[in-house]
Amino acid sequence: MRIYKREHRLELWLEGAGGRFALFRAYDICRYSGQLGPKLAEGDRQAPEGFYRVAKAQLNPRSRHHLAFNIGFPNAFDKAHGRTGSFLMVHGGCTSVGCYAMTDAQIDEIYAVVAAALDAGQGEVDVSIFPFRMTAAALRASARSEWSGFWANLKQGYDLFVQQGVPPPVAVCGGSYVFGSAARAPGCTPISGWV
C-alpha cells in the first residue's frame, strides 16, 4: 500500500507472477488531518508519514469507523525520534483526527484485500506513506521545508520500490530509515507489524 498525502491517493499494489508488484487499484482518500510532514505527538491531529507494516493483530473488523486497520504508529523510527500517538488507522467513515479516512465502500475493498493477503499466509502488508509523489522535482520544490531531510530519506525507499518493483526491507539504523541489504545490518531495528 502506498499513500500520498498531497494527492489524496491510496494505492494498492499486488505481486504478479514474475514477483514484481503492479498497481491493482487507486482510491481517493476521503479525508486526512494535518499538513504535510510527520506526526510528532499524541493529539497533534497530524497523519503520519513513513514506512509501516500491518499484521493480523492490527485489523479491526468492529471499528466504530466501519472497518479499520492500525498502521502501526509509532514504529521504530518514530520511537527513535520521541514521537508519540496511538490509534492511527486507515478506516471508513470519511472523518479524521490523524488517520487516513476512506468511504465505507472503499474500505470494504481495501480491508478485504489486506485481510485476504494475511489469511493466505503473507506475514505483513507494507504501508508506505509519503507527503507527495517523491519525484526529484517535487523534492527540489520542497527543499526549504523543515522536513526536507526526512523526505529525502523517505525517497530512498520510494525509489527502491520503483526500481525493483518489490517493497524493500526497511529498518531503522542510527535514527534513519535504511533499505535493502542495509536493513539487515546488526544493530538495525526492522520495521514490523504487531505480533
- How far apart (Å, rounded) are the C-alpha atoms in residues 29 and 77? 25
Instruction: Classify residue 195: in a domain, yes or no.
Output: no
Q: Which triple of cell numbers denotes residue 83?
A: 514521537
CB-CB contact of 158 with 130 (8 Å): yes
Q: How confident is the model at residue 179 (pLDDT cuts 50, 70, 90)?
A: very high
Instruction: Classify residue 155: in a domain, yes or no.
Output: yes
Q: Average of pLDDT values for 152-174?
A: 97
CB-CB contact of 101 with 32 (8 Å): yes
Q: Average of pLDDT values for 119-133?
A: 97
pLDDT value for 195: 83
- Which of 6, 22, 66 has the alpha carbon at shortest distance from 167? 22
Alpha carbon separation from 73 to 20, 70, 90, 121 (Å, rounded): 27, 8, 12, 23
Q: How confident is the model at residue 97 (pLDDT cuts 50, 70, 90)?
A: confident
pLDDT value for 190: 98
Residue numbers of the domain that contains 113: 2-190
Instruction: Classify residue 80: in a domain, yes or no.
Output: yes
Asked if 8 is an active-site residue, the reply is no
Q: Average of pLDDT values for 1-30?
A: 97
Q: How confident is the model at residue 119 (pLDDT cuts 50, 70, 90)?
A: very high
pLDDT digits (tens, 9 = 90+) for 73-83: 999 999 999 99
Q: How confident is the model at residue 181 (pLDDT cuts 50, 70, 90)?
A: very high
> How many CB atoms lie under 10 A from the CB of residue 109?
14
Instruction: Classify residue 172: in a domain, yes or no.
Output: yes
Give me the catalytic one of 65, 66, 99, 188.
99
Q: Average of pLDDT values for 106-121?
A: 97
- Which of 65, 154, 151, 150 has the alpha carbon at shortest distance from 110? 65
CB-CB contact of 39 with 12 (8 Å): no
Asked if 94 is an active-site residue, the reply is no
Tally the domains of the chain: 1
Q: Average of pLDDT values for 138-148?
A: 97
Instruction: Round the average pLDDT of the chain to a whole number and report it.
Output: 96
- How far apart (Å, rounded) are the C-alpha atoms in residues 88 and 39? 10
Instruction: Classify residue 152: in a domain, yes or no.
Output: yes
CB-CB contact of 85 with 48 (8 Å): yes
Instruction: Classify residue 17: in a domain, yes or no.
Output: yes
Give me the catalytic one of 66, 91, 94, 173.
91
- How far apart (Å, rounded) are the C-alpha atoms in residues 99 and 46? 8
Per the model's pLDDT, the better-predicted residue between 98 and 56 turns out to be 56
Q: Give, as one character, the DSSP assignment of residue 85.
A: -
